[in-house]
A and B are shown apart, each in its own frame.
Chain A
Amino acid sequence: MATDDGQVTYLEAVALALDAEMERDPDVFIIGEDVGQFGGAFKVTKGFLEKFGARRVVDTPIAETGFTGLAAGAALVGLRPVVEYQFADFISCAFDPIINVLARHHWRTGDAMPVTLRAPFGARLRAGPTHSQSVESYFAHVPGLKIVMPGTPEDAAGLLVSSIRDNNPTLYLENKYLYRRLRVAGPISLEPIPLGVANVVREGRDVSLITYSAGVSQGLEVADELDRDGISVEVVDVRTLVPLDVETIVNSVRKTSRAVVLHEAAKRLGYGAEIAATIQEEAFWHLDQPVVRIAAKNTPTPTSPALEDAVVPQRAQVAETLRKVVRA
């Protein structure tokens, strides 16, 4: 499963990891709308039905509450379900079983709840207010859920392997804008990447750009651009919001003394607020500047390109903000 030129896309990395885990563990199955004969709305599970059969590749009615709760029950008695939501926007239909059934069950009872919730999310595809949302903050507030947001094909694979093997409900958010835009030379490793370990994807001296998901590739592009002007940006990919690798973030900020947080979710109570607050708690006396957040405007995500680009963080905005913070 790789492109003709031997490269592996972000989407293929997700598929490869899922395929490998289903091969490795007979208790792993995939369930969701159109995941079977159609291969999934974005084709992540293309070919899975033929390979694994309808027993393990389960097409469902349009019933997010129903199949999410089903996954909970199956997990309670020993299976390891992977649930696909067609778009992360539809996960709100499953809010109740995620919050009240999956997330708090282990704390209440001591019974493990190994469920992986896969959802394509995010903007920049001109898909509008109910097909473009970043949903991580809705769930980050809830004790008992892990939240995984890979920004590279390698992480998409390794973090999905870990999510599936984890004994907790894990929300694994796939950035659908990256699906076919990010690619790396194959083959890629399918070794698990531990949850809760951030990755310094680019070392730098002048400012720490702390981000995740699509912010990683965007941040690296901007870092290259600023490097030509002698500005050295350290890019920290937190990879998982819960658990959050506070130590790596704080070490980076202590080194650079400046921090900018970037995500494409709306700014108000976006996860950047948690990161910024954590930095001021843990590294306040190392800071030369206030922590700055770059995020989407506090509006729904518009459809039309001119409008969406005005709402979602653009490369130029990221570059300008970093320059300002470094110069100040």
Chain B
Amino acid sequence: MATRTNKRKTEEAGAIPVSKRDPELLRRMYRMMVLTRAVEDRMVAMYRGGDLLGSLYTGHWHEAISVGAAATLRADDYMAPLHRNAGAHLWRGMEAWQIMASFMGKATSPTGGRDGTLHYGRLDLGSYNPPSHIPANFPVATGMAFAAKYRGEDRVALAFCGDGSTSRADFHESLTIASVQKLPNVFVIENNQWAYSTPLSLQSSSETFAIKAVAYGIPGVKVDGIDVLAVYDTVAQAVARARAGDGPSLIEAVTMRMHGHAEHDPADYVPRAMYDEWSEKDPVERFENVLLEAGVIDADTAKQVREEARQHAIAARRKALADPMPDPSNIEEGVYAD
């Protein structure tokens, strides 16, 4: 099965024009991307101000991938995220204050402070809470997809990993099993060009990551990861394919990690030219401009959405700060389920 490059811009021929899309969905995607940016910007300030326990992992320039991919899912679908997917979590109903509480070890975090920082998945929202080392979430996503198929349900499981994850055994084993079992999986590689300090040239000799799909006999598509509508269209197609029982797909969404691996990391190893190039390609601004040009929103709405997001993030911080720390007296409970 051939892979293809899907770098088309949404305004180009072949893509569904913005005017033909559901404006409510477009506005919701926009609001979620703006909210994601506002929440993560606020958390960067919290990191600098000493509010957080340890480091902070953000998804700047990943907003289009997170929101665009999550927006293709039904509420009863499954998701196995990585640590740059705050936007996907917010899309599925996670509260901003819960994400902050997780980075603060608060009792109100999704794990009650037992785990923390970037580990804040919620199974009640269909989202797996992964361990630190991605893609350990990939095999779990195959299991969620397996369960759906086992029960004759048409749910799908969407999993995210980074460019560095593609080197690990669990990436290969998951794609192998998902392809031979024709599991309803969609695997998204968020290629942000850096795995901590390791550049792509030291990660893989493959021409692209999408092309790895050829080895599994499944579709592989490379897409512009700052174009939320291109991400949405590409993932939606893969989701439809999975839902129809035609098996998994691999998607490589290209972006740039605009912060360090985490906020403690000044990322001196990143060439300045890369930042200069990519700072021109802000996915949130880009989508805002698309919607403004198409008349889906006007300048006042954009301003209002941004201010609401800012206020939302400020309120979330206040709540997370006020929330209690966990009670250590029950720490030995729950090692085992009843």
Between-chain CB contacts (< 8 Å), 17 pairs: A64-B173, A65-B139, A65-B169, A66-B173, A67-B173, A69-B173, A70-B140, A73-B142, A73-B145, A76-B123, A78-B147, A96-B136, A97-B139, A106-B336, A114-B337, A167-B338, A168-B337
Cα–Cα distance between A100 and B136 once the two chains are bound (Å): 9
Contact of B144 among A61, A65, A74 (CB under 8 A): A74
A-B interface, 5 closest residue pairs, ranked by CB to CB distance from nearest:
A69-B139, A73-B143, A66-B173, A63-B173, A73-B140
Cα–Cα distance between A56 and B149 once the two chains are bound (Å): 11
On whether A96 and B150 interact (CB within 8 A), knowing A75-B143, A106-B334, A167-B337, the answer reads no
Binding site for A on B (CB under 8 A): 78, 80, 110-111, 114-115, 119, 121, 123, 128-129, 131-133, 136, 138-148, 150, 157, 169-170, 172-174, 176-177, 180-181, 334-338
Cα–Cα distance between A73 and B128 once the two chains are bound (Å): 8
Find out whether the CB atom of A101 lies under 8 angstroms from the CB atom of B131. yes
**A64 CB contacts on chain B under 8 angstroms:** 173
Which parts of A143-167 form the interface with B (CB within 8 Å)? 143-144, 146, 167
Cβ-based interface call for A29 (8 A):
yes
**A111 CB contacts on chain B under 8 angstroms:** 123
Find out whether the CB atom of B177 lies under 8 angstroms from the CB atom of A60. yes
Given contacts A66-B173, A101-B139, A109-B121, 20 further A-B contacts (CB under 8 A): A55-B150, A58-B181, A61-B173, A69-B170, A70-B139, A70-B174, A70-B177, A71-B143, A72-B139, A73-B78, A73-B144, A77-B78, A77-B143, A96-B133, A97-B136, A106-B335, A108-B111, A108-B119, A109-B115, A112-B337
**A56 CB contacts on chain B under 8 angstroms:** 150
Nearest CB in chain A: distance from B6 CB, A: 27
Cβ-based interface call for A113 (8 A):
yes
Cβ-based interface call for A285 (8 A):
no
**B172 CB contacts on chain A under 8 angstroms:** 63
Quick one: which of A63, A144, A146 has the most chain B CB within 10 A? A63
Cβ-based interface call for A257 (8 A):
no
**A96 CB contacts on chain B under 8 angstroms:** 133, 136, 170
Find out whether the CB atom of B334 lies under 8 angstroms from the CB atom of A107. yes
Nearest CB in chain B: distance from A56 CB, A: 8
Residue ID in chain A nearest B120 by CB atoms: A109
- Counted as pairs of residues, one from A and one from B, with CB atoms less than 8 Å apart, the total is 131
Nearest CB in chain A: distance from B250 CB, A: 15
Nearest CB in chain B: distance from A89 CB, A: 17
Nearest CB in chain A: distance from B184 CB, A: 12
On whether A69 and B142 interact (CB within 8 A), knowing A61-B177, A76-B128, A109-B110, the answer reads yes
Cα–Cα distance between A97 and B143 once the two chains are bound (Å): 12
Quick one: which of A74, A78, A114 has the most chain B CB within 10 A? A74
**A114 CB contacts on chain B under 8 angstroms:** 337
Cα–Cα distance between A101 and B119 once the two chains are bound (Å): 12
**A246 CB contacts on chain B under 8 angstroms:** none
